[in-house]
Amino acid sequence: MKKAILTLSAVILATLGTQAQQALFGGSNIVSPEIHPDNTVTFRLYAPKAVSVKVSGDFLPEQLIDTPQGKWAVSVPADLKEGKDGVWEYTTPQPLEANYYCYNFVVDGQKQLDLQNVFVNRDVKTLTNYFIITREAGDQGDLFSVNDVPHGTVRKCWYDSPSLGMKRRLTVYTPAGYETSSKKYPVFYLLHGSGGDEEAWYTQGRVTQVLDNLIATGKAEPMIVVMTNGNAYETSAPGEQAGGFRQPKMVMGGVKPGMKEAAFELSFPDVRRYVEKNFRTINDKRHRAIAGLSMGSFHSEHISKYYAGEYGYIGLFSGASAGDGRRGKDEPGGSPVYANFDKQMANLFAPKNRPYLYYVAIGKTDFLKQGNDGFLRYMDEKGYPYTYRETEGGHIWRNWRTYFIEFSQKIFK
C-alpha cells in the first residue's frame, strides 16, 4: 500500500513538473495572432478534432441583425481553414488600420479564447483576446500603446457614499508629475456603460496609455480622470467585493428593482466630495468635465443638467438617454433628476451655466441612432449648441475609444 502511494505521488509530481515547465517555457510553437509587415493578420488554432472553426472580432465587416432593441450591427465571423497537423488558419484579406482590436474563436459553435495570445480583457462577463496595430507615431494604435513618455499613476480608491450607505471604489488616473509637484489639476469624470464597472475605461478604453501619450505631445491638458462604478447596487468590480465572487450582470440604468430611481445620479456628489478632498483639484466649472458611454451617457446627461453649472464640458457617447420617454414630462413621485426635463435643460443652457462644450457622438449603425437623432432635433429646436460626431460602426468600444480621444483633446483649453 505504501509503495502504491509513493508511486501515485511520483506520477502527480511528474505531472506537476511537466505543467510547470510548460508554463515556464511554453507548450506550443503556434503563433497567433501573427501581425505581418503589411499589417495583415493571421490567426491560428490547434483543433484537430474540430469540424468548424471561426474567428469573430471587431476588425471584420458588420451586418445588421434584428434584436428586441432594434437593429444591431454585429461583425460577421470568418472561417478558418484546416491545415496540416490539425492547425486551423485565417489571414485577413486586407491590411488592418491602426487601432486596438478584440477577437475570439468559435469552435463548433462554442466561443473560446486564443490560448496562444496572453492578452485578454473582460467586458461585463465576456472575455476576449486583443492586439494592437500601429502604422506610425501618433496614430490610434500608437496612442493605445505604452511609449517612452512620462507615465501617470493609476489608483484604486475606496470612498464613503452616505447616499448609498456603503463604501465604494473608484479608479483614478493622475498625470505624470502629480506626485512631485504641488500643482492643482482639472478633473474629468468618465462613466462606463451597462454591466461595466470602475475598471472598464481603464482596461477596455486604454485611458492611461492614451492620456500619457496625448499629454506628452501637448495634445491634451494634464488632468485627473475619475472612473466611477455606475452600478449603484455594487461596491466595486467583480472579485473586489465583499460577499463572494458574484458574476457581473447587465443592469440598465445601474439600479435594480426596488432601488431608488436615479440612485447613482443622486449619489454623485459623494464622488466629487471625495475627489476634491483627497486630490489637488481646481474646483470650478471650467475645470470639470463629465462624459460616458451608453448608460454612462445617460448618467452624464442627467447629472450635468440636474447639477447645472458644475460641469463645463459634457460628452455623450452612444447616448442611451436619447428618446428615454421622459423628456419634458413632470413625474410626480418620481426622481427629481428625471422630472422637468425641459426646465432643467433650459437652466443648463442659461448663460451662467452654459457648458463650453456639449459633445454628442454615435456610430451610424448604433441601435440607439434613431433615438439619438431625435435628441439632436430637440437640441436644434431649442437652439442649444452642441458638437456632433458620427462614425462608422455600431455600439462598440472602437467608437468609444475614438470619442474619448477626441473629447479629451477638446477639454480644459
Residues 98, 245 within the same domain: no
104-107, long-range: CB < 8 A, 24+ apart: 104/55, 104/56, 104/57, 104/128, 104/129, 105/43, 105/45, 105/53, 105/54, 105/55, 105/56, 105/80, 106/52, 106/53, 106/54, 106/55, 106/56, 106/77, 107/45, 107/47, 107/50, 107/52, 107/53
pLDDT digits (tens, 9 = 90+) for 230-247: 998 898 888 788 777 777
Would 18 be classed as within a structural domain? Answer: no
Cβ–Cβ < 8 Å for 120, 140: no
Do 129 and 154 have their domain in common? Answer: no
Q: Residue 296: what pLDDT?
A: 95
**What pLDDT score does 13 carry?**
43
Cα 86 to Cα 136: distance, rounded to the nearest angstrom: 36
296 shares a domain with 224: yes
412: left (phi over 0), alpha (psi -120 to 50) or beta: left
Please report the pLDDT score of residue 195 as a whole number: 85
Q: Are residues 119 and 241 in the same domain?
A: no
Same-domain check for residues 123 and 166 = no
What local confidence, expressed as pLDDT, does residue 14 receive? 44
Domain assignment of residue 233, yes or no: yes
- CATH for 236: 3.40.50.1820
Neighbours of 285 (CB within 10 A): 17
- Does the pLDDT value for residue 4 go beyond 50? no
Read off the pLDDT band of 66 (50, 70, 90). confident
pLDDT score at 278 = 98
In this prediction, residue 236 carries a pLDDT of 83
Same domain? 215 vs 108: no
Q: Is the pLDDT of residue 16 over 70?
A: no
Q: Are 265 and 363 part of one and the same domain?
A: yes
Q: How far is Cα 116 from Cα 25, in angstroms, rounded to an integer? A: 13
How large is the average pLDDT for residues 193-202? 92
Residues 125 and 211 in one domain: no
Distance CA 13, CA 18 (A): 9
Does position 322 have pLDDT exceeding 70, yes or no? no
Report how many domains make up the chain.
2
How much is the pLDDT for 28? 65
Question: Do residues 233 and 288 both lie within one domain?
Answer: yes
- Model pLDDT, residue 191: 98
Domain that holds residue 87: 27-133
pLDDT at 163 over 60: yes
Mean pLDDT computed over 68-97: 89
Q: State what percent of residues in the chain have pLDDT above 70.
A: 88
Could you tell me if 88 and 195 lie in one domain?
Answer: no
- Confidence at residue 22, expressed as pLDDT on a 0 to 100 scale: 44
Say if residues 255 and 324 touch (Cβ distance below 8 Å).
no
Of the candidate ranges 46-55, 115-124, 304-313, 347-356, the one whose mean pLDDT is the lowest: 115-124
Which pLDDT belongs to residue 26?
47
Distance CA 195, CA 246 (A): 13
Does residue 16 form part of some domain? Answer: no
Residue 324 lies in a domain: yes
pLDDT at 328 over 60: no
Last residue within a domain, chosen from 101, 133, 165: 133
Cβ count near 388 (within 10 Å): 12
**Calpha distance 155→202 (Å, rounded):** 11
Q: How much is the pLDDT for 96? A: 96
Burial class of 399 by CB neighbour count within 10 A (0 to 12, 13 to 18, 19+):
buried
For residue 25, is pLDDT > 50?
A: no
Spatial contact of 399 and 313, defined as CB atoms under 8 Å apart: no
